[in-house]
């Protein structure tokens, strides 16, 4: 767009911009070096995708780039240090390692060690994956007719709101007879679904979603079923005002922002749901995607791999009803392993959790209740995702 195409008002706004005058940067050298380090700089295939054609990444760099190698390399150095810290953590546990080792297993292609369960903690972010044991809440007394009606209306509202959303969008809604006094609130999410791995990867790149690639090893018979990218569920009122919470008490500001959001929402025209129930809703600002999932199937059996950004302080996983929980160490990476009893109501047979500090992601791998996969096979799949399968 040329300057003459701007309105007078836009021209004035442009005059306030000082970013246009900032000093230029030159990142060619560090980026091309990172590519060369990662994919090889010489006559071998330099890309993750070029099929090993003879290329050279560094060849055309002519300009003086002496100033170009800066913090980024040290940032990546930090990532390497994070990985080293994880390794050190595992090694430092070595003293107690053999005390807790139950057995050393070796299947056809994977060697791992078993130890007693303990939480996993990311040494850089202190993100923790922890097992807790919580009994299911006993069934409540029979619901009143009014409560049943309200639940029915909330479900009706959810369906309606979801229909209004585009893939990747999130909305918040209130349902009730009188919206100003104790309405039911809920969030509706529309994930992005993919029928092919290629389209999943393409969108993952475009949206800078959490990194998740298919495992290097999959048991025979398993084929891609679906991919999914899930939007981040922000707290209503928080994301809409990114800069108004710098001063003053942050706690009060968050509550104020939420209250303001609810007041604005209630003042919007309501949708009639029948039986005097009303619905008001609002899309929440996009705050990116915070988790991704891939699923594979073999007949009735399924495998689900999920990746979550380390954007919270930790995650608690309920181990209630499990037959076995332990930690597994495979090629220097520690995982939590959970096994369901032969008879039970859990939705998996085996489940594994592990952290990747450098990708700032944690992963979950689970199979279906009807799965015939062994623990070794599950570990092998997980190891192949770490690039450590042999």
> Binding to other proteins by residue 155, rule CB under 8 A?
no
> Is 80 or 205 the residue whose CB approaches other proteins more closely?
205
In the chain the first and final C-alpha atoms are separated, in Å, by 54
> Is 50 or 96 the residue whose CB approaches other proteins more closely?
50
Q: Interface with other proteins by CB under 8 A: which range of 23-31, 219-227, 298-306, 325-333?
A: 23-31
Length of the chain: 390
Q: Enumerate residues 323-352 that contact other proteins by CB under 8 A.
A: none
Going by the DSSP 8-state scheme, the letter that residue 19 receives in this structure is G
Tell me the closest approach of the beta carbon of residue 22 to other proteins, in angstroms: 6
> Is 10 or 259 the residue whose CB approaches other proteins more closely?
10
Query: Which DSSP string do the residues of 112-172 spell out, in sequence order?
Result: EEEE----EE-TTT--EEEEE--PPPPPPSPPPHHHHHHHHHHHHHHHHHHHHPPTT-EEE
Chain-centroid distance of CA 256 in Å reads 29
Burial class (CB in 10 A: 0-12, 13-18, 19+), 102: exposed
Q: Interface with other proteins by CB under 8 A: which range of 88-96, 97-105, 134-142, 234-242?
A: 234-242
| 389 to 34, 58, 216, 377: CA distances (angstroms) | 24, 30, 8, 11
| 111 to 97, 102, 103, 207: CA distances (angstroms) | 15, 14, 11, 36
> Binding to other proteins by residue 314, rule CB under 8 A?
no
Neighbour count for residue 59 (Cβ, 10 Å): 9
Q: Enumerate residues 360-379 that contact other proteins by CB under 8 A.
A: 360
> Is 206 or 272 the residue whose CB approaches other proteins more closely?
206
69 φ, ψ to 5°? -80, 105
Q: Interface with other proteins by CB under 8 A: which range of 20-28, 86-94, 269-277, 373-381?
A: 20-28
> Is 18 or 163 the residue whose CB approaches other proteins more closely?
18
Q: Enumerate residues 239-268 that contact other proteins by CB under 8 A.
A: 239-244, 246, 250-251
Token look-up 């195409």 returns 5
> Binding to other proteins by residue 43, rule CB under 8 A?
no
Which residues of this protein are in contact with other proteins, per CB under 8 A? 1, 6, 9-10, 13-14, 16-20, 22, 24-28, 30-32, 34-35, 45-51, 53, 55-61, 70-72, 75, 198, 201-202, 204-209, 232, 239-244, 246, 250-251, 285-289, 309, 311-313, 360
């Amino acid at each position: 767009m040329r300057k003459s195409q701007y309105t007078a008002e836009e021209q004035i706004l442009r005059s306030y911009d000082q970013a246009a005058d900032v000093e230029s940067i030159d990142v060619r050298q560090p980026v091309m070096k990172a590519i060369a380090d990662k994919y090889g700089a010489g006559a071998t295939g330099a890309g993750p995708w070029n099929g090993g054609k003879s290329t050279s990444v560094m060849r055309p760099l002519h300009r003086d780039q002496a100033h170009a190698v800066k913090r980024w390399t040290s940032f990546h150095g930090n990532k390497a240090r994070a990985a080293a810290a994880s390794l050190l953590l595992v090694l430092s546990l070595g003293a107690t390692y053999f005390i807790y080792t139950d057995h050393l297993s070796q299947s056809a292609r994977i060697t791992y060690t078993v130890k007693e369960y303990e939480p996993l903690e990311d040494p850089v972010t202190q993100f923790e994956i922890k097992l807790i044991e919580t009994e299911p809440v006993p069934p409540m007394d029979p619901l009143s007719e009014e409560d049943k009606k309200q639940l029915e209306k909330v479900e009706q509202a959810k369906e309606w709101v979801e229909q209004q959303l585009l893939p990747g969008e999130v909305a918040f809604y209130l349902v009730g007879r009188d919206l100003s006094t104790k309405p039911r609130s809920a969030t509706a999410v529309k994930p992005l679904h993919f029928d092919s791995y290629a389209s999943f990867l393409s969108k993952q790149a475009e949206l800078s979603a959490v990194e998740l690639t298919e495992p290097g090893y999959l048991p025979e018979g398993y084929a891609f079923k679906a991919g999914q990218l899930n939007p981040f569920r922000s707290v209503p009122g928080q994301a809409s005002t990114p800069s108004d919470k710098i001063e003053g008490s942050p706690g009060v500001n968050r509550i104020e922002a939420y209250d303001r959001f609810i007041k604005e929402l209630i003042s919007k025209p309501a949708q009639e749901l029948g039986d005097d129930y009303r619905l008001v809703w609002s899309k929440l600002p996009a705050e990116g995607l915070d988790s991704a999932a891939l699923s594979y199937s073999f007949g009735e059996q399924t495998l689900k791999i999920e990746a979550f950004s380390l954007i919270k302080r930790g995650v608690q996983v309920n181990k209630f009803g499990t037959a076995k929980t332990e930690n597994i160490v495979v090629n220097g990476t520690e995982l939590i392993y959970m096994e369901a009893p032969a008879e039970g109501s859990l939705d998996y047979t085996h489940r594994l959790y592990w952290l990747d500090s450098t990708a700032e992601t944690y992963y979950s791998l689970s199979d279906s209740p009807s799965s015939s996969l062994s623990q070794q096979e599950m570990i092998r799949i997980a190891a192949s995702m770490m690039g450590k399968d042999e």
